[in-house]
Amino acid sequence: MNKTLEEVVSIEFNRQIGIDTCLMGFRSTSLASLAKPGQFLMIHLGRETKDPLLRRPFSIHGIKDKNKLMILYRIIGKGTSLLSTFKEGDPISVIGPLGNGFNLPRPNERTLFVAGGMGIAPLFFLTQVLNEVQKHKFKMFLGFPTSQEVVLLDQLKDLNVDLSLTTEDGSLGIKGLVTDLLDQYLGQRLTKRPVIYACGPTPMLKKIAQKSFTFNLKCYVSLEGSMACGLGICQGCAVKAANSKDKPYYYVCQDGPVFPAEMIDWEVM
């Protein structure tokens, strides 16, 4: 079992970096030393707050100076709206690191990252970690609805990323979806078969998973799930297992959030 901590941390920064998109950082040497790419945190929105009631899960977006953790989030509801009002110095309770995290690729393995919207959050951390150990460029397909939502381009340039950007309306980068790029890419004759790491909306992940089956590629997806605790207790975050004989459902918080695509029953997703 992974080591899990509950810590009250002090927010170092919490700023808007794009339309409705925020980057938050806080200091915790212990959490930073434990965190692996693909793992997540359960963040409490204030001890006296009963509405919103539950903690919110956030992927770890990156680590800085070995003692700072960052999360990237979009303001989409009551919880994230409230979170966006937190100021430097405010205390928040964080539980983590939770979940399994990504299996790192082997040193000479070709990797392909596919991120949709906030799906970039855990993949950014993964590229950050891989950047320290691998020399070759990582191919990444990153998609947003419009240019207004696009974030992190400069930061990704600092990492060793060969980035292809898409927007659905074509207002920046290539017009279309990241899955269109994947189609084109896999349509070429590839000298080396890539391992796919994907995170984003479920319909996108479903398409990518199916592609990976067609081309017989190893594919890891990081899933989202409605969860109350993140600790394997509430059993809220169930996803149907592909081979349900042994285990009918997996729990995103404990068995995931990263799954080899073939473990999931995509028919019902």
Near other proteins by CB under 8 A: residue from 75, 231, 242, 263: 231
Of 70 and 237, nearer to other proteins (C-beta) is: 237
Shortest separation between residue 54's beta carbon and other proteins, angstroms? 5
What does residue 184 show for φ and ψ, rounded to 5 degrees? -60, -45
Contacts (CB under 8 A) with other proteins, residues 94-153: 95
Smallest distance, other proteins to C-beta of residue 236, A: 4
Min dist CB 118 to other proteins, Å, is 19
| Rg (the chain; Cα; Å) | 18
C-beta of residue 190 within 8 angstroms of C-beta of residue 112: no
Q: Segment 24-83, which members bind other proteins (CB under 8 A)?
A: 44, 47, 50-55
Question: Following CA atoms 260, 262, 263, 264 in sequence, which dihedral angle do they give, to the nearest 10 degrees?
Answer: 110
Instruction: Write the CB contacts of 194 (distance below 8 Å, at least 6 apart in sequence).
Output: 109, 110, 111, 112, 139, 217
Contact between 8 and other proteins per CB under 8 A: no
Comparison of 133 and 268: residue with beta carbon closer to other proteins:
268
Q: Does 203 bind other proteins (CB under 8 A)?
A: no
Piece of the chain touching other proteins by CB under 8 A; list 15-23, 62-70, 202-210, 240-248? 240-248
The residue ranges that bind other proteins (CB under 8 A) are 3-6, 44, 47, 50-55, 93, 95, 225-229, 231-240, 244, 248-249, 268
